[in-house]
């Protein structure tokens, strides 16, 4: 096992990785920008190195600065968390070249899945159904004929990146050229590539994902599924496990598990990954993308399986096979139901970032509640970074109990000093579709629009 792990991230995920390292007797080493000198993730770690100015380009995604910090601190491994450098194949390769273990998949798998169009083709060849679309990326000359072939309505999607950036919905042919220019420009600014492809637009789908692990030795397993359909601006805000969508029947679940297990095994994938899918109204399930990292929403899987996914990441990176990991079972036993809400420093009406000082942050102290926080009372939410403050996760024997406990936890939580989205989260979970467990990706945006009227 590793002696000292550098955590190449910030906020709640960096603090969360530190906790697992501490439990396993591994020293954790943080990195921080000038804006994060007193941040919680720095306080949680055993050591820390300043790596640059506040903008992420000058600190958290500066590969040389991060690796220099790892070498200077004597770290033998790097955990990237999620976001930032977590899916950067060049960073993974640079770690290998400097003799530092990257706690994640191989650079080749990151590069393969980082290009979404290439990932679609690969997973289709491995037996996964994919959403009908253009067979390849489209150029300016062949874009309109490709769109006519796919049919309207359709999505223009960036080949790289995520979070809805470089994505555009086109409902009619006369909108296509304008939306194509907009999507290309957005993708070029965000990801350095204006490459896009086309996909048929699924109407009101459910967003279902499977937590996968592989050990690079031909073994792969699935640690259950999650529903992530509560999204605003294509970003998730509430997740739960198992997925409650009534269309996701036991037969469809079993078939999807078989397809995903075969595909991940066929890739000879190593470490954690998430296979994301869309479930349409008819019950058809399509591969969407594969994230080659730990997900923000991994705690709901941990709550229903009793596993520590960061520990699994560390042990696999250290060379252990899946079958030797603590709690391994295929499939693992799943107990009860868990729901996670992401707590942001943002206006609950406009959902725009609202950085500032936190005078008070308190949640109930209950055995069924978990708080993964990146800040505490007295800390500052900086305008330089994503305004995610914490994730509040509850567990119950069934979904009804989990939902009741979530209502109580959100009602009894107190955040003072800045605006936050708890009022919005409370409105979402009181909608009838959410109560029924039959909601889709349009729920949050529809709620926002209805309140604007």
Residues involved in catalysis: 293
Residues 6 or more apart in contact with residue 449 via CB below 8 angstroms: none
State the Cα–Cα distance between residues 206 and 304, nearest whole angstrom.
21
> Phi/psi at 246 (nearest 5 deg)?
-65, -25
Contact status, residue 299 vs residue 223, Cβ threshold 8 Å? no
Virtual torsion, Cα 40, 382, 293, 114, nearest 10 deg = -160
Contact status, residue 268 vs residue 216, Cβ threshold 8 Å? yes
- Angle of helix 422-429 relative to helix 399-412, nearest 10 degrees? 150
Contact status, residue 322 vs residue 213, Cβ threshold 8 Å? yes
């Amino acid at each position: 096992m590793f002696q000292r792990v550098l955590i190449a991230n910030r906020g709640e995920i960096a603090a969360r990785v530190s906790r697992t390292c501490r439990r396993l007797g591994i020293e954790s080493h943080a990195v921080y920008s000038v804006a994060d000198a007193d941040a919680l993730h720095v306080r949680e770690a055993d050591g820390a190195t300043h790596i640059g100015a506040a903008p992420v380009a000058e600190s958290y995604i500066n590969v040389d600065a991060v690796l220099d910090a790892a070498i200077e601190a004597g770290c033998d491994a790097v955990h990237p968390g999620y976001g930032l450098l977590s899916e950067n194949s060049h960073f993974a390769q640079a770690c290998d070249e400097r003799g530092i273990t990257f706690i994640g998949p191989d650079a080749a798998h990151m590069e393969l899945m980082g290009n979404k169009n290439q990932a679609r083709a690969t997973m289709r060849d491995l037996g996964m159904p994919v959403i009908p679309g253009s067979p390849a990326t489209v150029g300016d000359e062949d874009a309109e004929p490709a769109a006519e072939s796919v049919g309207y309505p359709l999505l223009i999607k960036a080949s790289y990146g995520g979070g809805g950036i470089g994505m555009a919905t086109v409902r009619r042919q006369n909108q296509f050229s304008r939306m194509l220019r907009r999507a290309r420009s957005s993708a070029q600014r965000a990801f350095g590539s204006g490459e896009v492809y086309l996909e048929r637009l699924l109407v009101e789908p459910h967003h279902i994902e499977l937590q996968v692990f592989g050990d690079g030795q031909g073994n792969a397993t699935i640690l259950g599924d999650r529903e992530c359909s509560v999204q605003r601006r294509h970003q998730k805000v509430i997740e739960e496990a198992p997925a409650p969508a009534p269309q996701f029947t036991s037969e469809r679940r079993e078939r999807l598990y078989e397809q995903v297990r075969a595909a991940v095994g066929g890739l000879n994938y190593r470490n954690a990954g998430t296979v994301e899918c869309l479930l349409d109204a008819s019950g058809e399930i399509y591969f969407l993308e594969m994230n080659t990292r730990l997900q923000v929403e991994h705690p709901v899987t941990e709550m229903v399986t009793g596993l520590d996914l960061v520990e699994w990441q560390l042990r696999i990176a250290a060379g252990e096979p899946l079958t030797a990991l603590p709690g391994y079972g295929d499939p693992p036993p799943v107990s009860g139901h868990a729901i996670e809400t992401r707590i942001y420093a943002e206006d609950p009406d406009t959902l725009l970032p609202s950085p500032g000082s936190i005078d008070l942050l308190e949640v109930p102290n209950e055995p069924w509640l978990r708080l993964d926080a990146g800040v505490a009372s007295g800390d500052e939410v900086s305008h330089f970074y994503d305004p995610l403050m914490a994730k509040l996760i509850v567990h119950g024997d069934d979904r009804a109990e989990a939902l009741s406990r979530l209502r109580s936890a959100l009602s009894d939580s107190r955040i003072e000093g800045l605006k936050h989205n708890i009022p919005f989260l409370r409105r979402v979970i009181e909608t009838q579709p959410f109560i029924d467990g039959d909601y889709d990706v349009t729920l949050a945006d529809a709620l926002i629009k209805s309140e604007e009227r």
